Each structure stands twice: as C-alpha cells, then as structure tokens.
Amino acid sequence: MILQIDFESQIPIYEQLKRQIIEGIAKGYLNPGSPLPSVRQLAEDIGINLHTVNKAYNILKSEGYVTIDRRVGAVISSNLPTKTAEYKNSLKEELKYITADAHCRGFSKEEFVKFCEDILKEYE
C-alpha cells in the first residue's frame, strides 16, 4: 500500500495518513498483524516531520486500529474497533453533516445515494 499525501489539501497531513491507513485496512491491503513503517522511515519516505507520523499513529492506536510496541513498532491490531452505540451516534452526526452539505451543493437524493453506493462497492 502506497500512502499519498496531498500537501495542498485542507486536510491535515496526520489526518490524511490516518484515513489512508484505515482505508487500507478496510480494503484488505493491511491485515491484522501487518507492520506499518517505522515513524522515522515513513517521515523520511514522505518528507514530513516525525511528529506528524507519530500523531497519526497515536490516534490510530487510541481508536483501536494499531498497537504500538517499542520493539516491533506500529502493527495493525488483531482486535479492530467494532460498531458500538457511541460509534453509531458519532457516524450518524457525521453523515448528517455530509448529507446537509451535499444537499446545499445541489446533490439530489438519487445522486447522493448513487455516490455512496459507488464508494461502498470499493469495499466489497
């Protein structure tokens, strides 16, 4: 899996890293037990600060996607997060905002649903 950072994006680099790693897990590119590059190596490869990679890894750890061991480094967790009631509520709130934004930008219900279905197909 190749991580691609958009340095012109409004999305912070650590967030881009986090999202791409989660996407890699969801698409099966990264499996439980798969090691991630060391903080130093990933920072050098992408040309970013060590603290940025460290922040992304720590968020992924706090969300349950990775485990971090000083000897082994960051590894995809064998106990990935599940859909808790708290997560469902959080997801609903995010989707409300995304739906409202799409509506304001002129998406019809049919367009929006098709758009979502196309994205979901990427994870089948």
* Proportion of the chain above pLDDT 90, given as a percent: 94
Mean pLDDT for 18-45 is 96
Query: What was the pLDDT predicted at 124?
Result: 87
CA distance 11 to 5: 10
Q: What is the pLDDT of residues 98-120, one digit of tens each?
A: 999 999 999 999 999 999 999 99
CA distance 3 to 17: 7
Q: Do residues 24 and 71 both lie within one domain?
A: yes
pLDDT band at 33 (very low <50, low <70, confident <90, very high): very high
Residue 1 clears pLDDT 80, i.e. is over it:
no
What are the structure tokens assigned to 40, written together?
């130093």
> Does residue 33 lie in a domain region?
yes
Q: Do residues 55 and 95 both lie within one domain?
A: no
Q: Return the closest-CA partner of residue 47 out of 106, 7, 98, 102.
A: 7
Residue 18 clears pLDDT 90, i.e. is over it:
yes
pLDDT band at 70 (very low <50, low <70, confident <90, very high): confident
How many domains are contained in the chain?
2
> Does residue 1 lie in a domain region?
no
CATH number at residue 45: 1.10.10.10
Q: Do residues 64 and 107 both lie within one domain?
A: no
Q: Do residues 52 and 100 both lie within one domain?
A: no
Show the domain range for 68.
Answer: 13-76
φ/ψ of residue 34, rounded to 5: -70, 130
> Does residue 5 lie in a domain region?
no
Mean pLDDT for 59-87 is 95
Q: Do residues 20 and 69 both lie within one domain?
A: yes
Grouping H, G, I as helix, E, B as strand and the rest as coil, residue 65 is coil
> Does residue 60 lie in a domain region?
yes
Q: Do residues 30 and 67 both lie within one domain?
A: yes
